[in-house]
């Protein structure tokens, strides 16, 4: 299929004028920083100007570096200092969101032809309304960047990462960056970190991350990506090396004892192998999983809440299922249904979901937590803040991602592309499950970027497929002409 012609919103002649204007602004900003701001802030401004210049000069390769950089920067949580009250992660995420929004606008005519553009615009419109209705401006801006940036980046990946070389480099760079994180996890496991961090009855491994669940969800994504590579490499040496890495990744994931991530990886393996029709391997994986569950008392204890939830008791035990999730979900949803009509339709604004969990915090905790209590369900978080219109828009974008993956799986003659289609279908199922079980691929920015970045790759691959022949409504002929005479068919 021929490549889509590039028709940017701003024509090339105007771009020269824009470039000159932005260059003048950049010089002014740097001069202002040198004269009036502290050295750290000035260095940050200069770095931002250089990064922005490179981004617009080499957008495709910048996208690759942005994703790999996010994985590594996530490990630098202990780096102190702030610029304008923003830490390193917030500066990086906010800066990328601003650059992505600017390029999205410049490439709007090309981007608007992507599948999912309409629900994205609906989602963005409701987000802006929710930001306007929020009382805390700083928190609203942070949440807005968190929710918008993954989807902007998805569309930019789909538009810019548009060759087989770029797509493979994108996957390879993210894998390489992920191995940096995994190496730190293995190091901390070997040096006994998990015996120094105790949470809810277990010693746990949080690796190079400050947040245990960030660590577990990244390991979930990385293990899924490595599993894809294992299934799609063709040399014995590479497969053996990847299997060793997979074993290390799964061991680190296990020692997080985060049920959401463990469940997500099980879902991924089952769906991927079903689509591959590798039934013997699937039976082997299921058998190993059941055997591990039957012989491992820690896993039995971690997943015993499933038995409680499915039981007949409707008392306090069920309210505390899943570290209190069931109680939080039911009480906060009941509070949402009591909202004013406008809040039911458009949500309570960015950050407003915390108001609905206060009832649970007051009733079932001896003292209310000093920080806000999250609903522990990404879809409820969206519903409470943005309302059902935005939630349906987001879910439709997930569904479209799975459909694009299915198209690749069914129609691509390239084994790698077909395998990646299966990867996206399985990963979309994983995000759906984990988003329901906890705050996962929406609230946690790094894994949200990675998921939607992969969706962008599948959109890019989908454009390589030839158009399907469309059936016509013309009825078949009832006769044919033979030697000048009509013969009934």
Do β-strands 485-488 and 479-482 pair in parallel, antiparallel, or remain unpaired? antiparallel
Distance separating alpha carbons of residues 11 and 474, to the nearest angstrom: 43
pLDDT in tens, 402-418: 999 999 999 999 999 99
Q: Are residues 276 and 212 in the same domain?
A: yes
Tell me, what's the pLDDT at 472? 47
| pTM, entire model | 0.86
pLDDT in tens, 253-277: 999 999 999 999 999 999 999 999 9
| Averaged pLDDT, 275-295 | 94
Is 53 inside any structural domain? no
8 A C-beta contact, residue 122 and residue 385: no
Is 438 inside any structural domain? yes
Is 408 inside any structural domain? yes
Q: How many domains does the chain have?
A: 2
Q: Are residues 357 and 406 in the same domain?
A: no
Q: Are residues 421 and 332 in the same domain?
A: no
Tell me, what's the pLDDT at 351? 87
Q: Are residues 355 and 398 in the same domain?
A: no
Distance separating alpha carbons of residues 166 and 343, to the nearest angstrom: 44
Tell me, what's the pLDDT at 420? 97
Tell me, what's the pLDDT at 482? 55
| Averaged pLDDT, 191-215 | 90
Place 1 in a pLDDT band, splitting at 50, 70 and 90: very low
Q: Are residues 449 and 338 in the same domain?
A: no
Q: Are residues 286 and 322 in the same domain?
A: no
Is 174 inside any structural domain? yes
| Averaged pLDDT, 328-341 | 90
pLDDT at 324 over 80: no
Tell me, what's the pLDDT at 142? 84
- Quote the crossing angle between the two packed helices 415-437 and 445-462, to the nearest 10°: 150
8 A C-beta contact, residue 384 and residue 348: yes
Q: What is the residue range of 65's domain?
A: 58-303+377-462
Place 375 in a pLDDT band, splitting at 50, 70 and 90: confident
Distance separating alpha carbons of residues 164 and 414, to the nearest angstrom: 11
């Amino acid at each position: 299929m021929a490549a889509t012609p590039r028709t940017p919103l701003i024509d090339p002649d105007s771009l020269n004028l824009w470039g000159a204007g932005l260059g003048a602004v950049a010089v002014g900003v740097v001069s202002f920083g040198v004269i009036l701001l502290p050295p750290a802030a000035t260095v940050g401004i200069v770095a931002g100007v250089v990064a922005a210049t490179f981004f617009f000069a080499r957008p495709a390769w910048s996208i690759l570096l942005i994703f790999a950089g996010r994985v590594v920067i996530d490990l630098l949580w202990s780096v102190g200092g702030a610029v304008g009250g923003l830490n390193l992660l917030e500066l990086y995420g906010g800066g990328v969101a601003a650059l992505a929004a600017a390029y999205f606008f410049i490439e709007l005519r090309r981007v608007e032809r992507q599948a999912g553009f309409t629900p994205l615009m609906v989602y963005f419109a409701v987000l802006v309304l929710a930001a306007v209705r929020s009382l805390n401006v700083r928190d609203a801006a942070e949440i807005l960047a968190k929710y918008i940036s993954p989807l902007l980046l998805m569309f930019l990946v789909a538009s810019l990462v548009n060759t087989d070389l770029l797509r493979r480099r994108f996957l390879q760079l993210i894998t390489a960056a992920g191995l940096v994180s995994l190496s730190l996890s293995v190091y901390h496991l070997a040096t006994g970190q998990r015996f120094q961090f105790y949470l809810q009855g277990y010693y746990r491994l949080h690796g190079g991350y400050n947040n245990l669940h960030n660590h577990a969800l990244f390991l979930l994504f990385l293990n899924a990506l490595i599993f894809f590579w294992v299934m799609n490499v063709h040399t014995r040496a590479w497969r053996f090396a990847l299997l060793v890495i997979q074993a290390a990744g799964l061991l680190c994931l296990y020692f997080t004892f985060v049920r959401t991530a463990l469940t997500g990886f099980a879902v991924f393996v089952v769906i991927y192998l079903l689509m591959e029709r590798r039934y013997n391997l699937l039976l082997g994986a299921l058998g190993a999983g059941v055997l591990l569950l039957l012989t491992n008392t820690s896993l039995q204890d971690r997943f015993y809440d499933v038995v409680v939830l499915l039981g007949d008791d409707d008392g306090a035990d069920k309210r505390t299922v899943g570290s209190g999730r069931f109680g939080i979900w039911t009480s906060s949803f009941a509070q949402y249904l009591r909202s004013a009509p406008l809040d039911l339709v458009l949500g309570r604004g960015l950050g407003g979901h915390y108001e609905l969990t206060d009832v649970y915090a007051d009733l079932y905790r001896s003292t209310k937590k000093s920080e806000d209590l999250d609903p522990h369900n990404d879809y409820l978080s969206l519903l409470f803040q943005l309302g059902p219109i935005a939630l349906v828009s987001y879910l439709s974008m997930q569904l479209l991602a799975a459909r694009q993956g299915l198209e690749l799986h069914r129609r691509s003659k390239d084994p790698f592309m077909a395998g990646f289609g299966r990867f996206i279908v399985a990963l979309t199922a994983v995000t759906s499950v984990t988003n329901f079980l906890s705050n996962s691929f929406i609230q946690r920015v790094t894994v949200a970027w990675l998921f939607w970045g992969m969706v962008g790759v599948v959109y890019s691959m989908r454009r390589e497929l030839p158009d399907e022949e469309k059936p016509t409504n013309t009825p078949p002929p009832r006769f044919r002409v033979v030697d000048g005479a009509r013969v009934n068919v």
